[in-house]
A and B are shown apart, each in its own frame.
Chain A
Amino acid sequence: MFFSQNLETYLLIAVFLFITGIYGMMQHRSFVGMLISAELVLNSAALNFMAFNKFLAPDPATGQVFTLFIMGIAAAEVAIAISMVLAVYRRYRSDDPENVHELKH
């Protein structure tokens, strides 16, 4: 029996990535750190898509297209979030979420 030819293996890896991402999202004390954790969560979703695509889907292109879609979303998200971090840092001189709690400055 080969673990690499088993759907459940990939799903368990994806669950691990997801939980690590959520944990990191809660315990990181900076916007960039939270962004890193969000990437982990997105990656676990993409891995899930690819696993179901390999083992269950009728058309092998479906999961690959959606994984590419997730990659595009992640790239757009990082670009936007980094420029938001820049704007916030410029205004508050800090990227600690604890310090950024006012809507107007």
Chain B
Amino acid sequence: MLIYKYLAEFLFFAFVVLTFFGSILAVRAQLLIHSVLGLAVCFLGVAGLYFYLGSPFLSMMQILIYVGAICIVLVFGVMVGYTPTQIAEKHLKGKNLLLAVFSGAAVFALMSVTIFRTDFTPAASKTGDFSIEWLGKSLLYNYCLAFELISLILLAAIVGSIILAQGGRGDD
């Protein structure tokens, strides 16, 4: 069944290309709405990568929360300040773009060297598995604090955003 492994590897590269393409579109698009679109594509690619990291549940959550919720909220944000066809972004050009790409490549090279020179050793003994059952149990026993904390943060965010955005259109 080696053919399926190669097929899976090909799909993996498709997801990687999707991620790269989406992230570049998100930072380089002329229209802000295209940036949001690029972000959604990038999130879909990362969701595919989560499949390969053994967690279909997280992949589902990535699509549900990031693509389904965050991108929609960002579209609302875009609609505040722009008409959809207005050119919003002034991009770097010429020498400045070259400098930016060069410094980005320098950081990338530095981090790559660090990654490849580090000796990663797996944990000696492993407990649990990648099943959603074990994840749910851990969420309610071992990582109960994270669970409670995130609900508190979300509550604070809801109240805070209502207070910040209240007042209607005001004096315009």
A interface residues with partner B (beta carbon < 8 Å): 2-4, 7-8, 10-13, 15-17, 19-24, 26-33, 35-37, 39-40, 43, 46-47, 50-51, 53-62, 64-69, 71-87, 89-90, 93-95
A64 near B27 (CB under 8 angstroms)? no
5 contacts between A and B (CB under 8 A): A32-B78, A40-B42, A56-B121, A71-B62, A75-B157
Of chain A, the residue at the smallest CB distance from B138 is A61
Alpha-carbon separation in the docked complex, A94 to B70 (Å): 22
Selected contact of B164 from candidates A55, A71, A80, CB within 8 Å: A80
Could you say which residues of chain B place their CB within 8 Å of the CB of A24? Answer: 26-27
Near A by CB (< 8 A), chain B positions 91-142 give 91-92, 100, 104, 107-108, 111-112, 115-116, 120-130, 134-135, 137-139, 142
Given A10-B49, A76-B157, check contact A32 B115 (CB 8 Å).
Answer: no
Given A29-B88, A40-B42, A71-B65, check contact A2 B157 (CB 8 Å).
Answer: no
* Those 4 A-B pairs whose CB atoms lie nearest each other, nearest first: A24-B27, A76-B157, A61-B138, A58-B123
B143 near A61 (CB under 8 angstroms)? yes
Alpha-carbon separation in the docked complex, A62 to B55 (Å): 12
Could you say which residues of chain B place their CB within 8 Å of the CB of A81? Answer: 77
B interface residues with partner A (beta carbon < 8 Å): 5, 8-9, 12-13, 16, 19-20, 23-24, 26-27, 32, 35-36, 39, 42-43, 46, 49-50, 52-55, 57-58, 61-62, 65-66, 69-70, 73-74, 76-78, 80-81, 88-92, 100, 104, 107-108, 111-112, 115-116, 120-130, 134-135, 137-139, 142-143, 146, 149-150, 153-154, 156-158, 160-162, 164-165, 167, 169-170, 172
Q: Which of B5, B26, B27, B111 has the most CB of A within 10 A?
A: B27
B26 near A15 (CB under 8 angstroms)? no
Selected contact of A61 from candidates B70, B116, B134, B157, CB within 8 Å: B134
Since A15-B115, A75-B157 are in contact, a sample of 14 more A-B pairs with Cβ atoms closer than 8 Å, ordered by chain A residue number, is A2-B5, A3-B13, A4-B52, A10-B53, A19-B104, A36-B35, A58-B123, A60-B54, A65-B138, A67-B58, A69-B146, A73-B153, A82-B73, A83-B160
Q: How far is the CB of B171 from chain A (nearest CB, A)?
A: 9
User: In the complex, how many residue pairs between chain A and chain B have their CB atoms under 8 Å apart?
Assistant: 225
Could you say which residues of chain B place their CB within 8 Å of the CB of A29? Answer: 88-90
Given A19-B107, A40-B23, check contact A54 B54 (CB 8 Å).
Answer: yes
Selected contact of A4 from candidates B12, B57, B146, CB within 8 Å: B12
A15 near B108 (CB under 8 angstroms)? yes
